[in-house]
Amino acid sequence: MKTEFEIIEKYFNKKSKRAIKGIGDDAALFEKDKKNYWAISTDTLNEKIHFLSNTDPFRIGWKAAAVNVSDILSMGASPLFALLSISLPKPNSDWLDKFSKGFFACCKKYKLELIGGDTTKGVLSINVTILGDVNKKNALLRSGAQINDDIWVTGELGLAALGLEIAKQKVMATSTLSKKSLNALEKPTPDERIIEKISLFCNSAIDISDGFISDLNHILVASKVGAKIYFQDLPISKWIKNNKKEDLALYGGDDYQTILTAPKKMRFKIERLIQKNKLSLTRVGQITNNRKLLIDHYEKEVKLKKGYDHFGKK
């Protein structure tokens, strides 16, 4: 019983009788009305696992909401309501003041309303359950990718993982990049405009919480397809490339960017929307029919193939 996914698969992965989509996507979907689904998801942040103990509580509060918003957006859905369950070793009013301000700042940005939760004593752990809704025609599942779809990714890859190395004082980068990376790690800000404007033209999506390769692979497995990635086109900072830290961008977690796939015939339309709205969205590859994940011009291709095969065996 090694991985999180093996545990879910073995003990929890039951088929739902009533949900349209149960376990296996960024959110579950169930009937709201004739035109819409509800989308529901949950995510937990644990001290020392998901954030360092010295992280600004405002940012912990922000991130607790943002990682959940990310899952809802990547279903093509809009966030609506949240439940907040928090376990605290001891009540600290300064910490709670900052945490709640960060949580509500994020809620305000994404028009999310807190409508319930739970408060208990224990190790510091924050769980948010989020509810959103989506027009049935616009719901984006991991299983929707079609052969020859373009693969698109929002924002930049690897910043959060670089931020973690910087926070742990393992690497030094320029002060601008350090600030940007720490922001990416501690205050992820999924771009809801991209989903609003682009998702209508897409076939599938997933948000990147475990790493670009790992999360893209979830789309490939769910859609029974492969992918070819154009390495040079991946949105990776020059500093990461120059310092040969591409692994941060490919395998690093916590980016909370979104991978989308869209038919080739939508490319022009999407490019026009990117220009018009100044969206940070990059075309990075193509869906293929050979069930393999290939990256062109990448010297560590073998390692990637191994990673893919390993996941593929499950």
Q: Which does 255 bind (CB under 5 to 8 A by kind): ligand ADP, Mg ion, none?
A: none
Are residues 132 and 199 in contact, defined by beta-carbon separation less than 8 angstroms?
no
| Span near ligand ADP by CB under 6 A; candidates 17-25, 51-59, 125-133, 253-261 | 17-25
Distance (Å, whole) CA 258 – CA 295 = 19
Q: Is 228 helix (H, G, I), strand (E, B) or coil?
A: strand
Q: Which does 12 bind (CB under 5 to 8 A by kind): ligand ADP, Mg ion, none?
A: ligand ADP
Strand 281-288 to strand 150-154: parallel, antiparallel, or no bridges (unpaired)?
A: antiparallel
Are residues 67 and 110 in contact, defined by beta-carbon separation less than 8 angstroms?
no
Q: Which does 217 bind (CB under 5 to 8 A by kind): Mg ion, ligand ADP, none?
A: none
Q: Is 147 in the site for ligand ADP (CB under 6 A)?
A: no
Kindly tell me which of 252 and 270 has the beta carbon lying closer to ligand ADP.
252
Residue choice 36, 181, 203, 209 for contact with ligand ADP (CB under 6 A): 209
| Span near Mg ion by CB under 5 A; candidates 10-18, 86-94, 126-134, 205-213 | 205-213
Kindly tell me which of 50 and 180 has the beta carbon lying closer to ligand ADP.
50
Residue choice 3, 8, 174, 300 for contact with ligand ADP (CB under 6 A): 8
Residue choice 133, 186, 207, 210 for contact with Mg ion (CB under 5 A): 207
Instruction: Work out the widest C-alpha separation in the chain, in whole angstroms.
Output: 56
Q: Is 186 in the site for Mg ion (CB under 5 A)?
A: no
Q: Which residue is nearest to ligand ADP (CB)?
A: 12
Residue choice 6, 23, 243, 269 for contact with ligand ADP (CB under 6 A): 23
Provide the residue count of the chain.
Answer: 314
Q: Is 25 in the site for ligand ADP (CB under 6 A)?
A: yes
Q: Which does 268 bind (CB under 5 to 8 A by kind): ligand ADP, Mg ion, none?
A: none
What contacts 2, CB < 8 A, 6 or more positions away?
Answer: none
Site for Mg ion in 137-176 (CB under 5 A): none
Strand 226-229 to strand 125-135: parallel, antiparallel, or no bridges (unpaired)?
A: unpaired
Q: How far is the CB of 69 from ligand ADP (least distance, A)?
A: 12
Closest CA to 69 of 125, 112, 100, 30: 112
What contacts 259, CB < 8 A, 6 or more positions away?
Answer: 151, 152, 153, 205, 206, 207, 208, 212, 215, 216, 219
Binding mask 62-81 for Mg ion (x = CB under 5 A): ---------x----------
List, in sequence order, the alpha helices (H) in the chain.
4-7, 57-73, 93-109, 159-167, 175-186, 192-198, 212-223, 238-242, 246-251, 267-277, 301-313
Q: How far is the CB of 25 from Mg ion (least distance, A)?
A: 8
Q: Which does 147 bind (CB under 5 to 8 A by kind): ligand ADP, Mg ion, none?
A: none
Tokens 């020059």, located at residue:
238
Closest CA to 41 of 61, 66, 60, 6: 66
| Span near ligand ADP by CB under 6 A; candidates 21-29, 75-83, 118-126, 256-264 | 21-29
Contact footprint for Mg ion (CB under 5 A): 26, 71, 207, 209
Contact footprint for ligand ADP (CB under 6 A): 8, 12, 23-26, 43, 71, 209
